[in-house]
A and B are shown apart, each in its own frame.
Chain A
Amino acid sequence: MAATTEYAIECRKITKRFGSVVANDQIDLNVRYGEILALLGENGSGKTTLMNMLSGIYHPDSGSISIGGQEVTISSPADAMRLGIGMIHQHFKLVDVFSAMDNIVLGSQEKRLSPKVLRERVLGICQSVGLEIDPDKKIYDMSVSEKQTVEILKVLYRSARILILDEPTAVLTPQETEKLFAILRRMREQGCAIIIITHKLQEVLELSDRVTILWKGRSIDTVVTAESDQRKLTELMVGRPVSLQINRPEPENVSTVMRIESLFVNKPDGAPALGGISAEVRTGEILGVAGVAGSGQKELCEAIAGLVPVQSGQILFNGENIVGKTPAQIIDLGIHMGFVPEDRLGMGLVASMGMVDNMLLKSYRTSKGVCIDRKPARALAESLVKKLEIVTPGVDTPVRLMSGGNVQKVLLGREIESNPSVLVTAYPVRGLDINSSYVVYDLLNEQKKRGVAVVFVGEDLDVLLELSDRILVLCHGRITGVVDARTATKEQIGLLMTGADSQEVAS
């Protein structure tokens, strides 16, 4: 079906405030049936807020929303569903202990169906759009892409005609992304209206018909994808021309500083998280670590930092085995973590403390006397604010009140100031906008130039390929390949991430 002139969704002058922060400022947006609209914008530009209003999670302070030409009020997710709007959230909204089927029918108003009828109905929907799922499988046994399939089925099961996807590809391998796009295209042909939120410009250009760009809570432009390109979109998104090239200095004085030998680590429930991995970490280079979320990245970082018990194997740092040492002993050796778990503040910083006290967390043991001397920590905090251009009302303001990018700078800055010889960072740019991301890349490169061995656990393959020197690929707790980032391709890494081993990929 060709795009009709009737709008599926038309938003006029939508405004939403959170306290004194204006998240959405008079946003206009529209999408037709049979069309894919990409919604582009940096973090904090209000994309998710806007979509949450369409799906009934938030309520706009002012402005109007029309669905199929009718002005409507969406006051709950149930309302949105009745209007045929289905949202696939960035963090899946699934009940882990339920089967796929139970999740699909959850909350629907119809009478209880026998499992047999239900199973057939679900498989019927699968067939019509080309999805594959085992309806009886429990969510906790599923891979990320299977979970996403369930989310899509949930929406289709209620015959939603308007589909909103919030960063659906962030957790997928390139191959899985292709499959998802094929399904979305098929749904477009069947006359659905689709809004997709993404950071990845290539995907926008590949998939969408039109692009609406948000900037600081305002919709600044809507362009036809075919008449645009990557550079133009970036400029609109950031508000000024930027260079997209990530700097990658040549490694100097490379020598192995840390050697991991057949390391086995178990998860708390006893399942293996790392199944005998061996790797080298070298000074003066950035070792990228790629893998689908949950492939053992977290355990690898925590094993190096001495935070999880190691089943067997060794981690040799300058020839000395650090397995079994306490985190404090490991820090004293000069191994520093800028470990950023999924909630950015979780492990690195104490959210309710200010910068000064967070600096103290790493240095209080070395100071003498009973009382805390805050002076050096305060000086350090102040110098970081200047050096890294950290935006904060003051060095004593609790870090949870700071924006994600600034928190990241505090965390990395503190680790770097202690002159580490190994710096481990996990997802240091997660949730950061383009500008802040580049500041972080520069910081890591600076450390590399100083001869620090940097381990960079990342999720965006484009960034990993541009920033790292070597990339280690994890899959289900095993290393499926270590590739040269200068010659490797995205497809190659994608295959390694799904478990093909390096010989197969090479041939």
Chain B
Amino acid sequence: MDLFIKFLVAAVGAGTPLLFGTVGEIISEKVGHLNLGVEGMMSIGACAGFMVGYFTDSFLLALVASFVAAALSALIYAFLTVTLMANQNVTGLTLTIFGIGLSNFIGVYMLERSPNGTLKLPERITASMRSIHIPVLSDLPVVGELLFSYTPFVYLGVAVALLMGFYLFRTRTGLNVQAIGENPASADAAGIEVSRWKYINIVLGGGICGIGGAYCSMIINGGVWISDNVGGLGWISVALVIFAAWKPQMAILGSFVFGALRILKYYMPKSVIDLPVAFYDMLPFLITALVLILSSVHESRGVNIPANLGNNYFREER
């Protein structure tokens, strides 16, 4: 029982970067832009967050830096696909390659210049990222551990997901945004500024992905910089969008389930099932493949996929 609770708590933590990635991608896909650059944007966010945290020793500044840097990389994507109408898939893949490369490059550059050959976040920032202890609530048995024992990232992620869900499904602006992803020509004819909202959503989505990247570089490895720290989580996020049916609220559930899959290898007693570790590493990707298969078999109306996902919009097209 105790192990199980520990497993759940760990699953939430492991799912958190996925949550940011998924919510960010949903915001972008809702305006019809499939951004395959999530992995790259997260890497850029990871690098910016870590480096700013390393030098300023401020958690808040690190978060802001990861958001801004990833948002800027999303701005490149937005400019290429919205304004110049480049192919979205190619642009997104390029952004991924660019983002990972840039992040690793800066990382190696800094490593070579560090006095002891490693980069480790200073103590003060590590302390401010530790699990928040709320008096009374965190001390409750079971509930306290399950709900009130997390790092600030977790609460921020859930808050962002709920906020974005409200934005998309409960506001007039959200209705307009959804219309753009469904049918940009209709949205345009209805007087919605299509390009403007595409930019806003793509950039906002990119920034949210970046915070997920900061989690990867600052938390997962205990505050020590390693290369390729996002390690494929961006790709799982892209697939999780489908699992979450383009709903940020559903992304909370989806990312925690996938988080559980990621850490299963540490918690599955060898006496129950003895499988090689590589099997567990593969598991999230296997489930992703299954989700993709199931969702394309069960394709029908109301599955929420934006009808014009992947298509650029040019008003004067004839």
Contacts and interface: CB of A to CB of B under 8 A. Distances in A.
A256 to B, nearest CB: 40
B188 A106 contact: no
B316 A57 contact: yes
B200 interface: no
A111 B193 contact: no
A369 interface: no
B193 A78 contact: yes
A283 B182 CA distance: 46
Given A106-B175, A107-B176, A112-B171, A93 B318 contact: no
Given A18-B318, A78-B193, A106 B182 contact: no
A206 B186 CA distance: 31
Main secondary structure of the interface of B (DSSP, over half): loop
Interface stretch (A94-102, A190-198, A272-280): A94-102
Interface in B186-230: 186-193
A364 interface: no
B315 interface: yes
Given A57-B316, A102-B175, A93 B193 contact: no
A225 interface: no
B190 A97 contact: no
B318 A107 contact: no
Nearest to B303: A97
A402 to B, nearest CB: 15
B268 interface: no
A95 B190 CA distance: 11
Contacts of A98: 175, 178-179, 182
Main secondary structure of the interface of A (DSSP, over half): loop
B126 interface: no
A317 B218 CA distance: 72
A213 interface: no
B300 interface: yes
Contacts of A92: 186
A58 interface: yes
A315 B134 CA distance: 75
Contacts of A93: 183, 185-186, 188-190
A77 B191 CA distance: 5
Interface of A: 18, 55, 57-58, 76-78, 80-81, 87, 89, 92-98, 102-103, 105-108, 111-112, 140, 154, 269
Interface of B: 171-172, 175-176, 178-179, 182-183, 185-193, 300-302, 304, 307, 315-316, 318
11 contacts: A57-B189, A89-B189, A92-B186, A94-B186, A97-B307, A98-B179, A102-B175, A103-B186, A106-B176, A108-B191, A140-B301
Given A57-B188, A93-B190, 17 more contacts: A57-B316, A76-B191, A77-B188, A78-B191, A89-B189, A93-B189, A94-B186, A96-B182, A98-B175, A98-B182, A102-B175, A103-B186, A106-B187, A106-B192, A107-B191, A108-B191, A140-B301
